[in-house]
Amino acid sequence: MVVVGCALLGLLVGSFANVVIHRVPQGASIVSPPSACPACATPIRPQDNIPVVSWLLLRGRCRACGEPISARYLLVEIACGVLFALVGARIGWDWALPGFLLFVWTLLVLAVIDARTRKIPNRLTYRLTPALLTLFVLAGLLSGDPTTALRSVLGGVAAFAALLVIALISPRGMGMGDVKLAGFIGIGLGYLGWGYVVLGVFAGFVVGGLSGMALLATRARSRRDLIPFGPYLAIGAVVAVLAGDTLIRGYLRSVGLA
């Protein structure tokens, strides 16, 4: 039940994620005007705006002008549905569920925007970070465990501070957008435990480092190109939420601590 409900909700808010991904980097409003074809500006009719289904029925083309509509729209909706279903399965019916859904939705949006524009917009982090913190503090208090609420706050501060130090030491690779994103990630992972905060940031660096080496090796990127780091931090955070339990226990067992 939770998983199916989350998947459907994910497809719906995946549509909205596309609007945010498209409009926020342009500085446009995300509520008006209603969705329109990027090529001919014809407003999209409600029956053509059904997540995933409409894109497939129209074969990825605008009904009015026939211009192709990027497969990114389809992929973001599917990714959002899948992420929500996985979070539903992992967290279950819990006070923390809304927080973790907002968590993965935001990470998906910021990762795609960062990959496209190499910027993580303050307009999003400044609004969504307090919203996320509120959800997790409430979840901690409502589930009768104030220490998880406190750990959420401290996790955010610690991850922000850790990336700030790294950004100051090596200002080339990392921007303040990444530091703010790390603060956002620390809030969600802090709710689960300190091991998750460490694992999430570490996994981000591992995935980022490996991809960076692969891109350099295949000469797809030269060393001077700026490789956006946000998507890797986001992937690391999602891995920590979904598989952190297994990974942390495996690690503790391998070093003989569990």
Closest to Zn ion by CB, 26 vs 254, is: 26
Q: Is 64 in the site for Zn ion (CB under 5 A)?
A: yes
Nearest to 91 by CA among 151, 143, 150: 143
Q: Which of 30, 65, 89, 226 binds Zn ion (CB under 5 A)?
A: 65
- Which residues on neighbouring strands pair with residue 36, listed in sequence order? 43
Residue type, 201: V
Query: What 8-state DSSP symbol labels residue 218?
Result: T
Q: Is 40 in the site for Zn ion (CB under 5 A)?
A: yes
- Which residues on neighbouring strands pair with residue 61, listed in sequence order? 68
For CA atoms 123, 198, 9, 109, the dihedral sign is positive
Q: Is 76 in the site for Zn ion (CB under 5 A)?
A: no
The interface region with Zn ion, picked from 58-66, 93-101, 109-117, 174-182 by CB under 5 A, is 58-66
In the complex, minimum distance from the CB of residue 15 to Zn ion, in angstroms, rounded to a whole number: 17
Q: Is 69 in the site for Zn ion (CB under 5 A)?
A: no
Q: Is 62 in the site for Zn ion (CB under 5 A)?
A: yes
Check if the beta carbon of residue 122 is closer than 8 Å to that of residue 169.
no
The interface region with Zn ion, picked from 39-47, 110-118, 140-148, 158-166 by CB under 5 A, is 39-47
CA–CA distance, 105 with 83 (Å, rounded to integer): 8
Q: Which of 39, 50, 161, 215 binds Zn ion (CB under 5 A)?
A: 39
In the complex, minimum distance from the CB of residue 40 to Zn ion, in angstroms, rounded to a whole number: 3
Name the residue with tokens 């993965």: 104
CA–CA distance, 250 with 222 (Å, rounded to integer): 36
Query: What 8-state DSSP symbol labels residue 256?
Result: T
* Stretch 127-146: interaction string toward Zn ion, x if CB under 5 A: --------------------
In the complex, minimum distance from the CB of residue 60 to Zn ion, in angstroms, rounded to a whole number: 12
Which stretches of the chain bind Zn ion, using CB under 5 A?
A: 37, 39-40, 62, 64-65
